[in-house]
Amino acid sequence: MGKKNTAVIGVGQTKYASARGDVSMAGLVREAALRALEMADCTWSDIDAVVLGKAPDFFEGVMMPEIWLADAIGCVGKPVMRVHTAGSVGGSTALVAASLVQGGIHERVLTIGFEKQSESNAMWALSLPSPFTTSINAGAGGYFSPIIRRYMAATEAPELIGCMVALKDRQHALMNPYAHVRDPELTFDKVVESPMLWDPIRFSETCPSSDGACAMVLASESVGDAHAGPVAWVHGSAMRSESGNFGGRNVVSPQASEDCAADVFAQAGITNPRAEIDVAEIYVPFSWYEPMWLESLGFAEPGAGWRMVEEGATTHGRGDLPVNCSGGVLSSNPIGASGMIRFAEVALQVMGQAGDRQVDGAKRGFGHAYGGAAQYYAMWIVGTDKP
């Protein structure tokens, strides 16, 4: 008993864009799945089970779309599951898929996260009137901006740290052919001058609304060992949730975040995350969440996360802990896939398959996703070496 070793043997992503009008939802998920199968050296018939994840069904207007997509995702005659844990869903979906291998149930599991936001209207989907709760109708930015303010006040972080994160992630996106927002002309001044949406969050400090899908093939130890190409081994995996309504919660660094990180680092035998992790993909939909999560996750001392940003510690090619070399959620945000992209990107890094955004010698990567009122967490650590 105990967790069985699990390997990522294939990763597939679609081009992320505000509207992928060239494909149906089925076409979109297949695009990612086929690329993952190709890298994994697999065909559909090698796959034992499929785990699909996405955010609210209202985003496309299809109820429980894994039912309709059964044929497109190659699971006819097989088990299929559909995960939905708010914004963390892409990460949670990968972890549910991993658990099927870790528990010894299956040899090869295909996992897919997707969102095709252009099919519907996310602001409408998020603003449906509910008879028992009052909607703030301000979108996610309206919810998170006061929390960011609180962080800024508590740490006395300089006002423009968020703009530095935004520019960094958008510049990283230029190295990622799949990224949605790729603007070579973007400068620090342009970020600073972009319209203020939810003070202190500017337009250029917020995530886009994207269509896209990400897929991975997860495999057992024997399949991973036999795989001819590079593999990424899972060194730790954890999920945590907490109430978003509890008055006593620390909204800047929720306990679920700290607990989840502590769990996943302990599983990987990591005591000094900053020194022992080579590359991280952290779920940062609003720029300021990079320094906030660096502290909450234990990469920086409390109050010192913004200094890592200022010093360039999280910049590709410059810092000791490159964060979001893919461009992150700030550059591509197909919500249901966003968490899985974080997980998949660090897998690519430790496989040495991250193309122009590769961090030299990356051996251990940290993937992170969060959702709801910063109350749902999914994290994993992958490494080049078998644990």
Partner 1 sequence: MRDVAIVASAQRQERAIPSESEVEFMVPLMQQVKDATGLTQKDIGFTCSGSSDFIAGQAFSFVMTIDGVGPVPAISESHVEMDGAWALYEAWVKLQIGEIDTALIYGYSKSSGGSLRDVLATQMDPYYVAPLWPDAFAIEALAARQMVENRRVSMDQLAEIASRSRRHGADNPHAVRTRQKSAADIMAEAPVASPLRPSDLPASADGGCVVLLAAEDTARSLSDRPAWIRGIDHRTDSHTLGVRDLTRSMSAELAAQKAGVANDKVDFAELHAPFTTSEFVLADALGLGEDTVINPSGGALAAHTMMASGLIRLAEAAARITAGDGDRAVAHAASGPVLQQNLVCVMEGE
Using CB under 8 A as the criterion, which residues of the chain lie in contact with partner 1 when the complex forms? 1-4, 24-25, 55-64, 67-71, 75-86, 92, 95-96, 99-100, 102-105, 119, 125-126, 128, 130-133, 238-246, 248-249, 254-256, 259-260, 372-373, 375-376
Query: Whole-number minimum distance, CB 109 to partner 1, in Å?
Result: 11
Neighbours of 229 (CB within 10 A): 11
Query: Whole-number minimum distance, CB 221 to partner 1, in Å?
Result: 14
Q: Which of 315, 364, 333 is nearest to 115 (CA)?
A: 333
Q: Which of 283, 307, 278, 287 is nearest to 295 (CA)?
A: 307
Would you tell me the crossing angle of helices 89-102 and 335-351 to the nearest 10 degrees? Answer: 60
Q: Helix (H, G, I), strand (E, B), or coil: what is residue 48?
A: coil
The amino acid present at 386, given as its one-letter code, is: K
Query: Whole-number minimum distance, CB 79 to partner 1, in Å?
Result: 5
For CA atoms 270, 373, 294, 215, the dihedral sign is positive
With respect to partner 1, which residue has the nearer C-beta, 80 or 251? 80
The amino acid present at 230, given as its one-letter code, is: P
Query: Whole-number minimum distance, CB 262 to partner 1, in Å?
Result: 11
Query: Whole-number minimum distance, CB 3 to partner 1, in Å?
Result: 5
Supply angle C-alpha 217, 222, 223, rounded to 5: 30
CA distance 158 to 254: 23
Token couple for 82: 């559909």
Query: Whole-number minimum distance, CB 365 to partner 1, in Å?
Result: 22
Q: For residue 4, what is the DSSP state?
A: P
With respect to partner 1, which residue has the nearer C-beta, 242 or 281? 242
Phi, psi of 206 (to 5 degrees): -120, 160
Q: Which of 6, 9, 1 is nearest to 344 (CA)?
A: 9
Phi, psi of 49 (to 5 degrees): -160, 160
With respect to partner 1, which residue has the nearer C-beta, 29 or 309? 29
With respect to partner 1, which residue has the nearer C-beta, 268 or 313? 268
With respect to partner 1, which residue has the nearer C-beta, 63 or 136? 63
With respect to partner 1, which residue has the nearer C-beta, 64 or 226? 64
Query: Whole-number minimum distance, CB 378 to partner 1, in Å?
Result: 9
With respect to partner 1, which residue has the nearer C-beta, 41 or 263? 263
With respect to partner 1, which residue has the nearer C-beta, 47 or 308? 47
Q: How far apart are the first and last CA of the chain?
A: 16
Q: Helix (H, G, I), strand (E, B), or coil: what is residue 153?
A: helix
Tell me how far the alpha carbon of residue 197 is from its chain's centroid.
23
Phi, psi of 370 (to 5 degrees): -140, 165
For CA atoms 87, 158, 255, 199, the dihedral sign is negative
With respect to partner 1, which residue has the nearer C-beta, 4 or 274? 4
Query: Whole-number minimum distance, CB 27 to partner 1, in Å?
Result: 11
**Torsion, CA 314, CA 318, CA 319, CA 322, rounded to 10:** 50
With respect to partner 1, which residue has the nearer C-beta, 9 or 100? 100
Query: Whole-number minimum distance, CB 108 to partner 1, in Å?
Result: 15
Q: Which residues contact 166 (CB under 8 A, 6 or more apart)?
A: 191, 202, 204, 205, 287, 330
Query: Whole-number minimum distance, CB 132 to partner 1, in Å?
Result: 5
